[in-house]
Structure 1
Amino acid sequence: MCGIIGVVASTPVNQLLYDGLMVLQHRGQDAAGISTAEGSTFHMHKGPGLVRDVFRTRNMRALPGNWGIAHCRYPTAGSAYNFAEAQPFYVNSPFGLMLAHNGNLTNAEELKQQLFKLDLRHINTNSDSEVLLNVLAHELQRAARGTVLDQDAIFTAVRGVHKRVRGAYAVVVMIAGYGLLAFRDPFGIRPLVLGKNVTPEGNEWMLASESVPLDTLGFERVDDAAPGEAVFVDLDRNMVRKQCAETHALSPCLFEYVYLARPDSMLDDVSVYETRLRMGEALAAKVRKIIDPAEIDVVIPIPDSSRPAALQMAQALGIPFREGFVKNRYIGRTFIMPGQSTRKKSVRQKLNTVGQEFAGKNVMLVDDSIVRGTTSHEIVEMARAAGAKKVYFASASPPVRFPNVYGIDMPTRGELIATGRTDAQIAALIGADELVYQDLEALEESVRACNPNITGFDASCFTGNYITGDVDAAYLDAIEQSRNQKPAAQQNASEDDDEAGNTAQQIEMFVRRPGQE
């Protein structure tokens, strides 16, 4: 669940990339990076922390050039505490490549062995994104005619990547001296949106994880990259698209619509906001089967992503909608905070109750999902402490019973509160008087109603069915073993990390285009 952006413009792009990262900050708070190109030189600055903390004026001045890429990191592979894994990643051969990746590869370990033994390439971190970069570099080397690289060779290389790589990936890549390449995995699990800005100097192009950067930066949303499709924009701002996967089928991640994406985004021709309204309607129908609406005095959302569903549910049930929690905007999203103790500590810093909305009432709390249950338990306790008589809890998504291996940090079954438990048992654990989960069919229909062309979804965290076909019990066991072996100091560290400004990397690279004097 990282945020990526790629831009080819007629004017300097450093501010565009920075502003774009700011509106994608919800997709990753661990690290941020920007790379630009001027002539045959790459410029890059990256480091740990929020976008606003990583970049200072002096850093922005050192990022000249009219095209570039940017990334905000949410760690899913490698270590959340190894800042060498901040992106973009660079490799100098062939041609010079700079890559930013959103997603997670499921065959990264196998590819590492292939790269070392067959491709003679060295991987310097534990990041699967560096693996993906080196696979692409090798395929470009194979496809190029000596020192000559053209569009056919670039698309052939992407075709080679699709044949070797499994998992979820949306990627933006700078090829020194040639242009910007972007592509999406054959299932379209992670999103990638294409936008255009018409200027007197010609078209400018942007690709991003969501449509929000396009909206805020004056670009018109053109389309979504199709599953398996590659988009190439040369340095004269000519754009070409080509399908590069032998088989492909749109199966976007359902959790993007439930939680990950901003409500004002469009993904795969689907309004995230509209899907969440529909989730609320479906959830109201489910509530009626379990709880008499007359027993509910007020519907209260858990800020922020559950608000549209809660609003629509309240309207459908004819129950007052109230804002009972006030959110501290300066606390990060607890779901993506590393370390369970940090997550528990931050809940009460993040939310505070409006007492009069709870005192003496039977309240229905609505959240987008329940993953570990830590936040839900704390919130129920806060509602009771504020005077609620009864606390009902509704989740706009089904029970999360299985790990997600495609780019969301919910990797171990033992951490998921719904694994092996009934709804009644989960309700007891979080302290609710009653718990209502959304049905999977209703959730899928909430998205499909906005775009009937979507025939399938990645719903693996709800069903345990992994659409890439290469995830089995042994794979999940290996992930859990790796996670459990992480030192306790790493699992709980956060406040003692170095400030981003002190550890950020500033890298300039001189890369000559083949044949250039």
Structure 2
Amino acid sequence: MSDQIKHECGIAFIRLLKPLSYYQEKYGTALYGLNKLYLLMEKQHNRGQDGAGIATIKLDVKPGHRYISRYRSMAQNAVADIFGYVHNKFVDIQNDTPELMQDAEWLKQNVSFIGEVLLGHLRYGTHGKNSIENCHPFLRQNNWMTRNLVIAGNFNMTNVDELLEQLYELGQHPKEQADTVTVLEKIGHFLDDENQELFDTYKKEGLSNVEITHKISENLNIAHILRRSAKTWDGGYAISGIVGNGDAFVLRDPSGIRPAYFYQDDEIVVAASERPAIQTAFNVGFNEVQEIKPGHALIVKKNGTVTQEIFREPQEKRACSFERIYFSRGSDAAIYRERKQLGRLLIDQILKSVNSDLKNTVFSFIPNTAEISFYGLVEGLHKYIKKVQKDTLIGRKDALSDQELDELLSMAPRVEKLAIKDVKLRTFITADADRKEMVAHVYDTTYGVIKNDVDTLVAVDDSIVRGTTLKQSIIKIIDRLHPKKIIIVSSAPQIRYPDCYGIDMSKLGQFVAFEAAIQLLKARGMENIIDEVYVKCKASLLLPKEEIINHVKDIYRPFTQEEISAQITKIITPKDTIAEVEVIYQTLDNLHIACPEHTGDWYFSGNYPTPGGNRVVNKAFVNWREGSDQRAY
């Protein structure tokens, strides 16, 4: 994505099902769990660069001994910083008494972070402050082991105000108006409730307090706690939590918006936001890693039993398609295939735009994240060329001259690397004029491969959000190569609507597609539609969220995709550009063909999977119309 946006946190959960001595004996280290957690987090570092954190819990620790450890970091390389901090705890032991590094039980009793239950988190801050206090895991502490709670997640709730009000009604006073706090306190409240109910039951049976403590630990009903906690959540979420006794869970929202995968065998249970992280860290096959079902929680009890249980009624699966286009790493086999298919499905539009003149067309891609869809495009072009060659040979086999035959057989797409990001260049100057000048040099280009004023340059991007980098940098740079025409091709459809489930795309005014639609309405004397949509959106905010519809669709309704693309082209083309410029977008139908199992397309279609989404998009329009820079949720 040429426009950088923040998005999608990552989770990593590990439960060791054997004693630590087992891993010491089999793998040569009692730090097996920590090492694997490090791998899981590093293999998902694309999911969070604003901070990270880990927490571990030791099972069956005697009273008076620490059993929960947590460390969070906002260092530039937060994961390395965290595990450097943890491993420093073993340096003196390794140097002074190395034999103790082989004693798993001694390490567990004497060194923090050596535990059987481990949780890691990588943070991308979508809004608000970016401080250590915003880094997961979050911890809710209590002297009762079974009332302690650690959570970390990849989520955004659209109805934080409603959830806070419910906490007030329960008598709580949350310290912060944030969805993470509300989720933590909501689960914590019903965890307390469950503890109290069990305590009262066992007290009536005449058990001692010590006996009751063990009985509560054995009989906590995690699924019941989660059902009560999540009843009114509206959002996309994958949340992992650990209770102080060692019970643990990973739950996924009812529409499957946010990704969550797991693997288990007789040694370990592991969950993460991305499948390849698990495959790489544990050397397991694609089919051995399963998705956590929407509306289900993967629950691992202290005794090691593993179940998937429903906590919310599953809805139509609307898994995020942006995960497939851009967010998740392309090393996932399914995502790799889908991104290539996105590239192939663009061929008809591109051939139409270049009049099928491949001889004078050069194909390239802009950010590295577009590389896989570019490969699919090139594969499709080769297939197209073979068809042209076959049809020509069949139809004109007796009429082709030697020169024509040579030209036919030499047909091939011209593929070049033309825009190369200079990662060393930092746009640190804050003055707008100076910053724009620096942005214009973020990419280097390859000279000497374009025929001046003859070649058309087709550059593939995976998605276009604001168009800022295209206008301020990329188009200016590739125009210096003197192509006749520049075609920017997005493997994603036009981004028209805000996200409210974890991605930093909440303000309508920042979308170039929205800007284009507004300009078209004004240019064609249809400004009344803007006013009408504002009135409808404003009125809708007084309704229950379940009754709200997305009125912002009316802004786009008068125009075809091609009309909006043409206006976007005008917006992102710098005034002094010599070459003709065109922008081509993937169609929504083709997106669904490429990603049939991930139909969450609200960014493009405006069809939100939860009622809160419609409230957010209408609120975002009201904010834009009133000149407010606030987020809509």
The equivalent of 2:444 in structure 1 is: 352
Q: Which structure has more helix as a fraction of its residues?
A: 2
Out of 271, 277, 281, the position equivalent to 1:213 is 277
Aligned residues: 466
Query: How far 1:56 moved relative to its partner?
Result: 5.4
Secondary structure of the corresponding residue to residue 466 of structure 1 = coil
Give a deviation string over 1:342-371, Cα, whole Å, max 9, x none. Answer: 996885675322223446342100011000
Whole-angstrom distance in 1 between the partners of 2:12 and 2:424: 24
Confirm or deny that 1:66 pairs with 2:116: yes
The equivalent of 1:467 in structure 2 is: 609
Query: How far 1:149 moved relative to its partner?
Result: 4.9
Describe the shift of the 1:55–1:186 C-alpha distance in structure 2 as closer, same or farther (beyond 3 A): same
The equivalent of 1:50 in structure 2 is: 77
Out of 136, 139, 155, the position equivalent to 1:103 is 155
Describe the shift of the 1:140–1:161 C-alpha distance in structure 2 as closer, same or farther (beyond 3 A): same
Letter in 2 for 1:29: Q
Secondary structure of the corresponding residue to residue 514 of structure 2 = coil
The equivalent of 1:128 in structure 2 is: 179
Matched-pair contact (CA < 8 Å) for 2:497–2:603: yes
Give a deviation string over 1:455-479, Cα, whole Å, max 9, x none. Answer: x722111112211022325533577
The equivalent of 1:38 in structure 2 is: 58
Secondary structure of the corresponding residue to residue 318 of structure 2 = coil
Measured on the aligned residues, the alpha-carbon RMSD in Å equals: 2.9
Matched-pair contact (CA < 8 Å) for 2:623–2:630: no
Whole-angstrom distance in 2 between the partners of 1:379 and 1:114: 49
Whole-angstrom distance in 1 between the partners of 2:49 and 2:293: 27
Give a deviation string over 1:248-288, Cα, whole Å, max 9, x none. Answer: 3321011111110111126xxxx100001110111112223
Matched-pair contact (CA < 8 Å) for 2:153–2:239: yes
Larger deviation, residues 376-385 vs 45-54: 45-54
Whole-angstrom distance in 1 between the partners of 2:301 and 2:431: 43
TM-score by length of 1: 0.82
Out of 296, 299, 306, the position equivalent to 2:370 is 306
The equivalent of 2:306 in structure 1 is: 239
Query: How far 1:113 moved relative to its partner?
Result: 1.9
Describe the shift of the 1:63–1:344 C-alpha distance in structure 2 as closer, same or farther (beyond 3 A): farther
Whole-angstrom distance in 1 between the partners of 2:294 and 2:350: 36
Secondary structure of the corresponding residue to residue 355 of structure 1 = coil
Letter in 2 for 1:414: G
Letter in 2 for 1:33: G
Query: How far 1:170 moved relative to its partner?
Result: 0.2
Query: How far 1:207 moved relative to its partner?
Result: 0.4
Out of 287, 293, 302, the position equivalent to 2:356 is 293
The equivalent of 2:491 in structure 1 is: 396
Whole-angstrom distance in 2 between the partners of 1:247 and 1:212: 25
Describe the shift of the 1:174–1:348 C-alpha distance in structure 2 as closer, same or farther (beyond 3 A): farther
Secondary structure of the corresponding residue to residue 282 of structure 2 = coil
Larger deviation, residues 63-72 vs 477-486: 477-486
Matched-pair contact (CA < 8 Å) for 1:21–1:51: no
Out of 324, 342, 345, the position equivalent to 2:418 is 324
Out of 256, 278, 284, the position equivalent to 2:347 is 284
Out of 166, 177, 183, the position equivalent to 1:114 is 166
Letter in 1 for 2:11: I
1:435-514 aligned at under 5 Å gives the runs 435-448=583-596, 454=597, 457-470=599-612, 471-472=614-615, 473-477=617-621, 484=629
Confirm or deny that 1:92 pairs with 2:240: no
Letter in 2 for 1:250: K
Whole-angstrom distance in 1 between the partners of 2:331 and 2:171: 45
The equivalent of 1:4 in structure 2 is: 11
Describe the shift of the 1:284–1:379 C-alpha distance in structure 2 as closer, same or farther (beyond 3 A): same
Letter in 1 for 2:36: L
Whole-angstrom distance in 1 between the partners of 2:283 and 2:628: 41
Whole-angstrom distance in 2 between the partners of 1:339 and 1:151: 61
Whole-angstrom distance in 2 between the partners of 1:65 and 1:341: 53
- Decide which structure has the larger Cα Rg and report it: 2
Whole-angstrom distance in 1 between the partners of 2:623 and 2:189: 27
Query: How far 1:339 moved relative to its partner?
Result: 13
Q: Which structure has more strand as a fraction of its residues?
A: 1
Matched-pair contact (CA < 8 Å) for 1:192–1:209: yes
Out of 572, 575, 583, the position equivalent to 1:430 is 572
Query: How far 1:35 moved relative to its partner?
Result: 1.0
1:371-382 aligned at under 5 Å gives the runs 371-377=465-471, 378-382=473-477
Describe the shift of the 1:342–1:28 C-alpha distance in structure 2 as closer, same or farther (beyond 3 A): farther
Whole-angstrom distance in 2 between the partners of 1:379 and 1:351: 7
Secondary structure of the corresponding residue to residue 457 of structure 2 = strand
Whole-angstrom distance in 1 between the partners of 2:341 and 2:308: 33
Name the % identity: 25
Matched-pair contact (CA < 8 Å) for 2:351–2:357: no
Letter in 2 for 1:398: P
Q: Which runs of 5+ in 2 are unaligned?
A: 1-7, 19-29, 62-66, 90-111, 200-212, 383-412, 517-563, 574-579
Larger deviation, residues 475-484 vs 12-21: 475-484
Give a deviation string over 1:420-443, Cα, whole Å, max 9, x none. Answer: 521111112222611110001100
The equivalent of 1:164 in structure 2 is: 232
Describe the shift of the 1:43–1:344 C-alpha distance in structure 2 as closer, same or farther (beyond 3 A): farther
Whole-angstrom distance in 2 between the partners of 1:50 and 1:339: 28
Describe the shift of the 1:257–1:132 C-alpha distance in structure 2 as closer, same or farther (beyond 3 A): same
The equivalent of 2:336 in structure 1 is: 273
Matched-pair contact (CA < 8 Å) for 1:76–1:104: no
The equivalent of 1:500 in structure 2 is: none
Confirm or deny that 1:264 pairs with 2:331: yes
Out of 35, 38, 41, the position equivalent to 1:15 is 35
Letter in 2 for 1:288: L
Query: How far 1:152 moved relative to its partner?
Result: 6.7
